[in-house]
Chain A
Amino acid sequence: MALSAADFNYRRRKLISAVMLGAAATSAIGMIAVLFLILGYVFIQGGQAIDFAFFTELPRPVGQEGGGMANAIVGSLIVLAIAGVLAIPVGFFAGIYLSEYASTTFAGAVRFVIETMAGVPSIVIGIFAFVLIVRPMGTYSAIAGGFALAMIMIPIFARAAEEALKTVPFSLREAAMALGVPSWRIVLRVVVPTAGPGIITAAMLALARAGGETAPLIFTALGNRFWQEGLTSPIATLPVQIWEYASGPYADLHRQAWAGSLVLVAMTVGIIGLVRLLYRGTSFRQF
């Protein structure tokens, strides 16, 4: 029996569907393969190099083997904490402004500034922080590093927070309005708590992103082979330390750079894992 037109069409559609599915699966597998290659390489190289001393000791003088990056690990956490303290409130309110007062002209200006900030290369942000903070202070410092990372975090966090706030159904705002709740209190007491997990996720992803930045820290935090002497002096950070060790000629320092990379990657993967866990816990029914 000859194929009818409908049969033919159906087969053709099935074939196209199979080809498309194949293409999508191939690129997905390719991407996952690349990711695992990178992660695997870092884990193997870093795993061989990492030891207890890496977490507890300072760098040894050049030429001596051993030592660790304890100061850089602590330094990274300090600089990130400063960045978080600066960026999270600003990004939070910017995100609220973008989502809740989107129709005002000022919100348009905020959006423009944030989108521009997001597009500025991180090295330029480093130079900006250098001119604005390092020069007047006369020294590289943890504060300058934190400021530069905050500049990177703000647009990421503000836009992710905006997205999280926008997922709150309008019906909830309406319900609160109908109860005679003033609009600013609706935002703070109904909309923000409902978007809470999304906002926390946004903050953590922004921190993870800033934690891996190197360029802006070279001009601001600089680096330090010893423990930092407060927030107004140069401070060691993981990415900068890795960059320095990796670009030098010493095999032992290369080894340590791999260990540092492993710690950095583990931190990022850890944060993303935490975010996933958080998201799994929040499947409320949306009305």
Chain B
Amino acid sequence: MTQQAPTQTQRDSRDHSGAGPSLQATQEQRSHIAKVESTDPGTITIENLEAYYGNFRAVAPVTFTIPGRKVTAVIGPSGCGKSTFIRCLNRMHETVRGASSRGHVLLDGEDINGPKVDPVLIRRKIGMVFQKPNPFPTMSIYDNVASGLKLNGIKSGRPMNEIVEQALRQAALWDEVKDKLKQAGTALSGGQQQRLCIARALAVEPEVLLMDEPCSALDPIATLAIEDLIRQLAPDVTIVIVTHNMQQASRVSDMTAFFMMNEQRSGELVEYATTETIFTNPADKRTEDYVTGRFG
């Protein structure tokens, strides 16, 4: 492309150019982006969010609403910015050196990127589960679950034993570990460790739980256990899950967001709709190609 500055009409004619945060581009994108009206607690409204590593724009402006108390899946080819995107939702993105983001992320109407907002407090409301289970190796199972409260010196009204038990029950791990709470968290199996990490995230009673490929290090049985768990949690917590597994996305999620890289290698939101629509009747050809496995 030799042109320096495309005119507005040219820009409009190019589909999903991602050439910049111009209003036209955003509106065009929205055509395949479902409008979600949600007033449930834990609703996340994303407005023109973009993410950078230095000068490299990893996520082009995205605008959509993640409904509260539902499961939203984020899918897309490797490197399209899924991890970067969800790490912007609890301000973990900015902990990477040289990384920055622009735009707005509203949790129940409040901008988490606001000037007076403490990112540390945001992360207590928006928890995160990582790809690889990462329990604290120096802590017992019990202490791992309690760590969010203990490390933050939070005095909850309820006794700690009760909180730990409830979190472990929510994470479907209680029966397996109730007799060995004093043992090291790292002595559990991979799948149990991941559920321990989920329990640890739940113990601080977050509004939202972000999960970045939480099952990719697990076997199929452990994966199913986590999927069950996600379905059970949904009425209480908003869940955003990144996954490469199409079946998983279709099994666990209510809404699905499909990301893809544009010509500038920035990730952009191609389509956002109910999971059923994405998998049975996608509006965008690229979504269809991706979910049917024609590329990936």
Contacts and interface: CB of A to CB of B under 8 A. Distances in A.
B201 A179 contact: yes
A189 to B, nearest CB: 5
A178 B90 contact: yes
A194 to B, nearest CB: 5
A74 interface: no
Contacts of B135: 175, 287
Interface in A139-178: 169, 171-172, 174-178
B148 A180 contact: yes
Contacts of A176: 136, 147, 151
A171 B95 contact: no
Contacts of A286: 137
A281 to B, nearest CB: 12
Interface stretch (B15-23, B116-124, B281-289): B116-124
B237 to A, nearest CB: 15
A103 B97 contact: yes
A182 B120 contact: yes
Contacts, number: 79
Nearest to A175: B134
Interface in A41-60: none
B148 A287 contact: no
A169 B120 contact: no
B204 interface: yes
B137 A177 contact: no
With a 10 A CB-CB cut-off, give which of A172, A177, A185, A287 has the most chain B CB atoms: A287
A280 interface: no
B133 interface: yes
A22 interface: no
Given A103-B97, A171-B130, A180-B121, A284 B137 contact: yes
Contact of A179 (B97, B133, B138, B148): B148
Contact of B127 (A171, A179, A285): A179
A180 B123 contact: yes
Contacts of B148: 179-181
A66 interface: no
A179 B151 contact: yes
Interface string A235-265: 0000000000000000000000000000000
24 contacts: A172-B136, A172-B137, A175-B197, A175-B200, A176-B136, A177-B92, A177-B95, A177-B123, A178-B92, A178-B123, A178-B130, A179-B123, A179-B201, A180-B121, A180-B125, A181-B151, A185-B151, A186-B151, A189-B151, A193-B138, A285-B137, A287-B132, A287-B133, A287-B135
Interface of B: 90, 92, 95, 97, 120-125, 127-128, 130, 132-138, 147-148, 151-152, 184, 186, 193, 197, 200-201, 204
Given A194-B138, A284-B137, 17 more contacts: A169-B134, A172-B136, A172-B137, A174-B134, A176-B136, A179-B147, A179-B200, A180-B152, A181-B151, A181-B152, A185-B151, A190-B138, A194-B137, A196-B138, A284-B184, A284-B186, A287-B193
